[in-house]
């Protein structure tokens, strides 16, 4: 297949589906399972790596759901309030509501499908504390919750009649004359063979684009394929400037730089220290959270022991706060040996507990860094972790602005606002995976016939892909990617300024023109160079959207920090930033007014915590008396 001169697409295999899901992480599998529950609906699932290897396995801490198993004061309202405040009120109100309300049911469903969570003394699903969550809320399995989730979905999913295509890369979407999704062209990585999926609806569960940065907890898969393809198909990307840098990634040795150290370490009592041995997080408590955060080490210690009156330790502030604090400490010259901060659990818990509660962290440091976390402090630093933004979707249907195209999970934007709380991602995957699966079925059932695919579109997509192989010579895709990563790391990193972002955008433009002439040597069979080049387009689109949105948002909010605009600015709360492909083929970045929220939701999000606690208490009492 390496050299296509006469492109005859009649030889290419075609398959027909009612619902096709791209991506088989937590969201993709949930969506496919939800869709397959409907009789007579043919569901397909395409994934870039082997089934069960998607990045969800890396999620460690847990999934947030207000089950109230550990602390019965918890309720969806408090979860919703935490989510909104964590997201600096920029979240899509409706999505945050659906998420908080639906998460407990989804967690229970997962348990019914075979997930085995850690238990409370009463034999219920145990829940742990996490940054930004007022009550212990994260259903978890040690520090391998993501693995549990994906394995459960995988083992359940393979019996639902879903047609699974592994190691298959999606290239681009095709649309019919009335701009509805009609299919997608994909390529099997092993053989280089193309395949055309004709489908009535398409669900993108393609994750983020963390591979745009140099230091990232994301694997090679995170190349923003969904963003790139959706953008090319005319969909809008929202909130792309909000990129979460997880405060604790490994910093040493170099080869593992960026690999995630779970927030669970802090949830279990780990503390942050600088090179002077000072527990510095007490100095970085934002005013907004001052009422809910301990101000002495003594109080923090009491909280950890389960004292319900004590306030939480400052290490459990939201991720953006902790990441910025580490950044500041390092810049002030108080960083650790290899340019991070110390995360110490060894002095806080005994070694038995650590090994039991954080087995994979213990293992990870033991093997990769030759460090015993039960005896020594870890060195950690911020690492690119998550895209709050993504493809803009309708809150209640998960449909994007392209008819027939749905998005869920990290690929979709809006739910987390300016900053995502730890543990909200896994529940997001389940809630919106499930929702988009169901809504896609509804949509597909509404279509009487398959939307038509234009053969010219297919030819165009395939030609674009094969030209990378067929070119006589050209630029090395690995080098373009490396340059892009460096550019994003230095110019559009944690702390941003107008000048740097502008430099960043210029570099991206330059890299885009280099990409026009990219060349991968070798055949089309399992050729990593080619795969890298194919992913580059999507990485470039994602990076451009991030940079342009970051430039436009002239304030610091959540995960987006502008040195030249260091504070939150109220007027910016009115807008989301949208990127879409303009008529001239260039990226348009515009401010879009946010919808006015439901007054009830607004009230909940803005009420004081004591007030809300009382309200919830009343709700619960009413419920029990009714029963």
Partner 1 sequence: MKERDFKIYRGDNERGELVNYKCKVTEGMVVLDVIHRIQADKANDLACRWNCKAGKCGSCSIEINGKPRLACMTRMNEFNEEEKIVITPLKSFPVLKDIVSDVSWNYEQNKKIIPFSPSKKDKEKDFVMMQKDVDRVQHFRKCIECYLCQNMCHVLRDNEGKEKFSGPRYMTRLASLEMHPMDKADRIADIKDVHGSGMCNITRCCTEVCPEEIQITDDAIIPLKERVIDRFYDPIMIFFRKIFGKN
Nearest distance, CB of residue 395 and partner 1, angstroms:
28
Give whichever of 255 and 593 is closer to partner 1, judged by the CB atom: 255
Cβ 482 to partner 1 shortest distance, Å: 8
Closest CA to 322 of 388, 247, 260: 247
What are the φ/ψ torsions at residue 158 (nearest 5 degrees)?
-70, -10
| Spatial CB neighbours of 626, under 8 Å, sequence gap ≥ 6 | none
Residues 6+ apart with CB under 8 A from 56: 25, 26, 146, 149, 150, 426, 429
Identify the residue whose tokens are 């340019």. Answer: 339
Cβ closest to partner 1, residue 186 vs residue 317 = 186
CB 31 within 8 A of CB 20: no
Residues interacting with partner 1, by CB under 8 A?
49-53, 55, 57-58, 108, 111-114, 116, 118-119, 122-125, 141-142, 144, 147-148, 151, 155-156, 158-159, 166, 190, 219-221, 252-256, 259-260, 359-360, 363-364, 367-370, 476, 478, 520-523, 525-530
Please, what is the minimum distance in Å from the beta carbon of residue 411 to partner 1? Answer: 18
Closest to partner 1 by CB, 113 vs 450, is: 113
The nearer residue to partner 1, 58 or 550, going by C-beta atoms, is 58
Q: How many CB atoms lie within 10 A of CB 459?
A: 15
Which of 479/608 has CB closer to partner 1? 479
CA distance 257 to 382: 10
Q: Any idea of the CA torsion for 540, 546, 551, 557, to the nearest 10 degrees?
A: -170
Asked whether 349 and 268 are in contact (CB, 8 A), the reply is: yes
CA separation for the pair 128, 316 (Å, rounded): 12
Question: Which residues carry out catalysis?
Answer: 246, 266
Closest approach of partner 1 to the CB of residue 581, in Å: 31
Closest distance between partner 1 and the C-beta of residue 538, in Å?
18
Cα angle 418-84-575, degrees, rounded to a multiple of 5: 50
- From CA 467, how far away is CA 469, in angstroms rounded? 5
Q: How far is the CB of 119 from partner 1 (least distance, A)?
A: 4
**Do residues 209 and 216 lie in contact, with contact meaning Cβ atoms separated by under 8 Å?**
no
141 in Cβ contact with 127 (< 8 Å): no
Closer Cβ to partner 1, 133 or 156, answer by number: 156
CB of residue 417 to partner 1, shortest distance in Å: 27
Q: Report the candidate in 239, 232, 228, 238 with the shortest Cα–Cα distance to residue 585.
A: 232
Query: How many Cα neighbours within 13 Å face the side chain of 334?
Result: 14
Output phi, psi for 11, to 5 deg.
Answer: -80, -15
Closer residue to partner 1 in complex, CB, 21/321: 21
User: Where do runs of H (alpha helix) occur along 471-598?
Assistant: 477-491, 498-515, 528-552
């Amino acid at each position: 297949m390496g050299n296509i001169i006469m492109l005859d697409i009649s030889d290419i295999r075609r398959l027909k589906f009612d619902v096709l899901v791209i991506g088989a992480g937590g969201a993709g599998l949930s969506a496919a399972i939800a869709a397959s529950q409907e009789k007579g609906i043919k569901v397909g699932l395409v994934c870039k790596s082997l089934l069960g290897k998607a990045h969800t396995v890396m999620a460690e801490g847990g999934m947030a759901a207000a089950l109230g198993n550990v602390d019965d004061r918890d309720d969806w309202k408090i979860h919703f309030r935490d989510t909104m405040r964590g997201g600096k009120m920029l979240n899509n109100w409706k999505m945050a509501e659906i998420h908080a309300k639906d998460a407990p049911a989804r967690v229970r469903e997962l348990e019914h499908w075979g997930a085995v969570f850690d238990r409370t003394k009463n034999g219920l699903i145990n829940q742990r504390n996490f940054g930004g969550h007022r009550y212990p809320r994260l259903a978890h399995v040690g520090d391998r919750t993501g693995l549990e989730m994906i394995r459960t979905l995988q083992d359940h999913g393979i019996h639902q009649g879903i047609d699974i295509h592994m190691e298959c890369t999606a290239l681009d979407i095709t649309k019919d004359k009335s701009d509805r999704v009609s299919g997608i062209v994909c390529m099997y990585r092993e053989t280089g063979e193309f395949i055309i999926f004709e489908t009535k609806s398409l669900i993108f569960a393609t994750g983020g684009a963390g591979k745009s940065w140099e230091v990232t907890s994301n694997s090679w898969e995170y190349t923003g394929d969904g963003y790139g393809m959706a953008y090319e198909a005319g969909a809008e990307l929202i909130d792309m400037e909000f990129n979460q840098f997880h405060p604790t990634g490994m910093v040493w040795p170099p080869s593992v730089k960026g690999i995630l150290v779970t927030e669970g370490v802090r949830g279990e009592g780990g503390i942050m220290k600088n090179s002077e041995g000072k527990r510095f997080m007490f100095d970085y408590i934002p005013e907004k959270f001052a009422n809910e955060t301990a101000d002495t080490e003594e109080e923090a210690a009491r909280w950890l022991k389960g004292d319900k009156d004590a306030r939480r330790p400052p290490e459990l502030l939201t991720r953006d706060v902790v990441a910025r604090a580490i950044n500041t400490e390092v810049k002030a010259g108080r960083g650790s040996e290899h340019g991070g901060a110390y995360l110490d659990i060894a002095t806080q818990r005994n070694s038995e507990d650590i090994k039991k509660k954080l087995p994979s962290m213990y293992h990870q440091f033991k093997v990769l860094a030759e460090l015993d976390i039960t005896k020594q402090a870890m060195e950690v630093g911020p690492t690119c972790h998550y895209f709050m933004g993504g493809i803009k979707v309708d809150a209640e249907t998960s449909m994007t602005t392209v008819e027939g195209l749905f998005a869920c999970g990290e690929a979709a934007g809006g739910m987390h606002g300016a900053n995502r709380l730890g543990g909200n991602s896994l529940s997001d995957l389940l809630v919106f995976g499930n929702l988009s699966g169901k809504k896609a079925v509804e949509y597909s059932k509404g279509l009487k016939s398959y939307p038509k695919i234009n053969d010219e579109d297919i030819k165009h997509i395939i030609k674009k892909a094969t030209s990378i192989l067929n070119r006589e010579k050209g630029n090395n895709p690995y080098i373009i990617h490396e340059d892009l990563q460096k550019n994003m790391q230095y110019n559009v990193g944690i702390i941003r300024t107008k000048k740097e972002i502008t430099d960043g955008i210029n570099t991206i433009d330059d890299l885009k023109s280099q990409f026009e002439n990219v060349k991968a040597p070798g055949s089309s069979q399992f050729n990593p160079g080619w795969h890298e080049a194919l992913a580059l387009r999507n990485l470039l689109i994602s990076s451009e959207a991030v940079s342009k949105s970051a430039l436009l948002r002239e304030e610091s909010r959540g995960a987006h920090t502008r040195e030249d605009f260091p504070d939150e600015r109220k007027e910016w709360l009115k807008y989301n930033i949208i990127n879409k492909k303009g008529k001239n083929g260039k990226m348009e970045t515009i401010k879009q007014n946010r919808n006015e929220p439901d007054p009830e939701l607004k009230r909940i999000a803005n009420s004081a915590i004591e007030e809300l606690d009382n309200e919830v208490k009343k709700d619960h009492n009413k419920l029990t008396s009714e029963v």
